[in-house]
Structures are given as C-alpha cells and as structure tokens.
Amino acid sequence: MFVSDPVTSPPTGPLTPVQERIYALLEELEMPYQRVACEAAIRMEDCAAIEDRLATKIVKSLLLTNRQETAYYLYVLPGEAPYKASAFSQALGVARAQFAKASALQSLLGTDVGGTTILSAVWPAAREVQLVIDQACLAAPTLGCTDGTPTGYLKIASQDLLNLYLPACGRQVTLI
C-alpha cells in the first residue's frame, strides 16, 4: 500500500467540506499534527503501513445507533480491539447499540465509509452524536485517525485532542 512521507500541512487541492473544517480548526488552534496521504484504507488491516509511517497507532472510529435510530454514538477504540456491543451498551447504560447506516455517516459526520473520525466533532450535525472514547486510546502520547477521508491520516497528540480540539468544538466526551 502506498503511504506518503509525513508532512505538517493540509492536503493541496480540493478538500471535502468536513476536511476544510478540520484543517481550519487545527490551524486556528495552532495544533501540531503529521499527515500522510495513502491509498484508500477502509479496514483496520489496511492501516499497518500508515501506522509504520506515522509511528503511532491508528484508532478505530465507529458510528453506532440504537435500534430506533434516535440516538447516535461515535465510538473511538484501539484499532486492534474488537467492538463488543454488550460491553459498550453496559458501559453507557443504553440499549444494545448497532452499526449506523452508511447514510448517517455523511449526514451526521460529513464522511463516507472509511473516513469516520473523531475530528468530525467540528461538523455541525455531529452535535447530535455522543462522543465516546475508550480510555486505552489515550494511554499513548499520540494517536492516529483519518482526516475525514480514507486517503488521509493524521497523527495528533492525545491530550491536544481532549484538551484543545474537542473543547473548541464545544464537545464533551464520555470516557469508558
């Protein structure tokens, strides 16, 4: 899989609307990051070369919903960790959560399949989504995530995400 050398600037050329918001906020906050461009990495197995190039672990971001599709959760967990619906639901005290439809990714997070990211917290419709992060993701000083597309990945400081980025989006996070 092709993965570019890391850079510290946004991609050139046209950006998706959510990418425009993500990179604008990173710049406004003067929040450092490293970015790589790559072939589309949809599955976690596709991320090994990205992890090597960025020297950080890529997190898995899942958009989940209840059966009625009235509550949504963006769950960020370690890339190698399996999603366990019963443990997630028990930790939050909610009915069993399931994967949301692909159409909800675009409407709520501004991303397509493979581009799901915690950085979508900057997207206006994401206010309808509860942000949930597995504490294991924050154990390392950095983490990797998409930039809203499956062809762009960022390495950011875990504490910058929690203490700068998400507060700037007016968002709180549930840690489990």
- Whether 10 is covered by a domain: the verdict is no
According to the model, what pLDDT value does residue 107 have?
95
Distances 144 to 50, 56, 91, 120 between C-alpha atoms, Å:
9, 6, 24, 14
Residue 96's pLDDT is 84
- Give the number of other CB atoms < 10 A from CB of residue 151: 17
3-class state of residue 154 by DSSP: strand
Q: Count other Cβ atoms within 10 Å, centred on residue 135.
A: 9
What's the total number of domains in the chain? 1
Here the CATH number for the domain that contains residue 159 is: 3.90.960.10
Structure tokens at 109: 């997070």
- Give the domain extent around 138: 17-175
Domain membership of residue 69 (yes or no) is yes
The tokens for 53 are: 């190039």
What is the model's pLDDT at position 91? 92
Mean pLDDT by 10 residues, the chain (176 residues): 94 93 97 96 88 96 94 95 91 90 94 94 95 95 96 97 96 94
Is 7 inside a domain boundary? no
97 domain-assigned? yes
Amino acid at 76: V
